[in-house]
Amino acid sequence: MDKGYEKEPFVTVKIKESVMKKFRSYCKQLGCSQSMTLLVMLEFFETSGISPKERMDSKMQTLESLVKKRINHVIAVIKEQEKTQTKPTLSMLKALFEGAALKDTPKFVEKKPKKKPPKFVEKKRDVDEL
C-alpha cells in the first residue's frame, strides 16, 4: 500500500489501452504503484519547471555549458591560488631549510693527512759499539 495514502479511495481515469500497458511496464521498472509513479512524475515536472511537451535538448545544452563554465572558474581559482599562495610558500620553506642546512656545515673543510706508522723503523747505533 502507498504510505500516507492508505485511506484515500481509488478513482478511475480513462486511458487508451496501449498507453496503459506502457505505463504499467514503467511502474514495474520503478517498483512503485501506479498512483505513486504518477505522483512522482507530476512532482518532477512541477519542481523542475519542465513541460513534457517541449524537448530537453536545448535545456540540456545550456545546463551543460553552465556546468562547464563553473568548472573552468573553479580551475582558474585553484591555479591562481597555487600561483599566489602555494608556490611562494613552498619556495620560502625551501629557502629556510636550505639556509639552516648551510649554517650547520662550514663552507670549507681542511683535510688533514692521516699519519701512518712507518713499516720499518731504523735503529740508531752508537758509534762506540762498532
CATH hierarchy code of domain 1-53: 1.10.1220
pLDDT tens for 44-57 read: 888 877 777 777 66
Q: What is the residue extent of each domain of the chain?
A: 1-53, 55-101
Q: What is the mean pLDDT of residues 13-23?
A: 93
Among 52, 46, 23, 48, residue whose Cα is nearest residue 35: 23
CA distance 10 to 99: 83
Q: What is the mean pLDDT of the chain?
A: 82
pLDDT score recorded for residue 106? 64
pTM value is 0.42
| String of DSSP letters for the chain | --TT-TTSPP------HHHHHHHHHHHHHHT--HHHHHHHHHHHHHHHT--TTS-SHHHHHHHHHHHHHHHHHHHHHHHHHIIIIIHHHHHHHHHHHHHHHHHHS-S--PPPPPPPPPS--PPP--GGG-
